[in-house]
């Protein structure tokens, strides 16, 4: 697949929205906050988000695989890397790049809720509401976008383009379906 053909969200647009999201999360969770980022796609979002927060914040990472390769979901979610830190009695926010079908987040929320956090919320930079297959609560959404496959700012196509500072579109409309 060629380089992105279109810029959907510029780095400046993303920067402003991420700062707002950090403030929203901080308003809801003013005390000790524990962010759980989903590798690899959320690494850029997390790094910008966390630097916009003051006060006590701890971080942990997990990795899942839902897309074997390419742009179509297999619908299967596997935990590839588990957390290092227990969630019990913590105010936890899952930090994810994008909610598409919702299958990944539904799975993650179920397994993390079973670990007895004090609270569990979810922050996603992007959402494709038209693609949702399962209902999943996402308290903080950066941008709702159409059903187009996007890359950059951490998001990949076949492990490429994560380094782009903006979010761009590759391929045609509906390519993710």
Indicate the pairing of strand 167-169 with strand 6-9.
Answer: antiparallel
Q: With contact defined as beta carbons under 8 Å apart, do 47 and 56 qualify? A: no
Residue 17 or residue 118: which is nearer to ligand IMP going by CB? 17
25 binds ligand IMP (CB under 6 A): no
Q: Which of ligand IMP, Mg ion, none has residue 167 at its interface (CB below 5 to 8 Å by kind)?
A: none
CB of 167 to ligand IMP, least distance (A): 9
- Asked if residue 142 binds Mg ion (CB under 5 A), the reply is no
Output 83 or 118, the one with its CB closest to ligand IMP: 83
What is residue 127's three-state secondary structure?
strand
Q: Is 41 in the site for Mg ion (CB under 5 A)?
A: yes
CB of 41 to Mg ion, least distance (A): 4
Give yes or no: 28 in active site.
no
Does the CA dihedral 53-136-152-6 come out positive or negative?
A: negative
From the candidates 48, 91, 97, 100, give the one annotated as an active-site residue: 100
* Residue 1 CB contacts under 8 Å (≥ 6 apart), including other chains: 157, 158, 170, 171
117 vs 98: CA distance, rounded Å: 23
Alpha helices in the chain (DSSP H): 11-28, 43-50, 103-113
Catalytic residues: 100
Q: Which residues bind Mg ion (CB under 5 A)?
A: 41, 97
Q: Which residues bind ligand IMP (CB under 6 A)?
A: 41, 66-67, 73, 96-104, 149-151, 155, 176
């Amino acid at each position: 697949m060629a380089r992105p053909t279109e810029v959907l969200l510029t780095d400046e647009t993303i920067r402003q929205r991420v700062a707002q999201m950090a403030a929203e999360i901080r308003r809801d969770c003013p005390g000790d906050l524990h962010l759980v980022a989903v590798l690899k796609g959320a690494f850029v979002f997390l790094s910008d988000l966390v630097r916009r927060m003051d006060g006590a914040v701890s971080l942990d990472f997990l990795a899942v695989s839902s897309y074997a390769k390419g742009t179509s979901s297999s619908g299967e979610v596997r935990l590839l890397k588990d957390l290092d830190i227990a969630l019990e009695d913590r105010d936890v926010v899952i930090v994810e790049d994008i909610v598409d079908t919702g299958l990944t987040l539904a799975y993650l929320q179920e397994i993390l809720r079973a670990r007895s956090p004090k609270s569990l919320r979810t922050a996603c930079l992007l959402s494709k509401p038209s693609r949702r297959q399962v209902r999943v609560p996402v308290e903080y959404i950066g941008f709702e976008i159409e059903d187009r496959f996007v890359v950059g700012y951490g998001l990949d196509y076949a492990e490429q383009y994560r380094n782009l500072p903006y979010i761009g579109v590759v391929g045609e409309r509906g390519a993710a379906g």
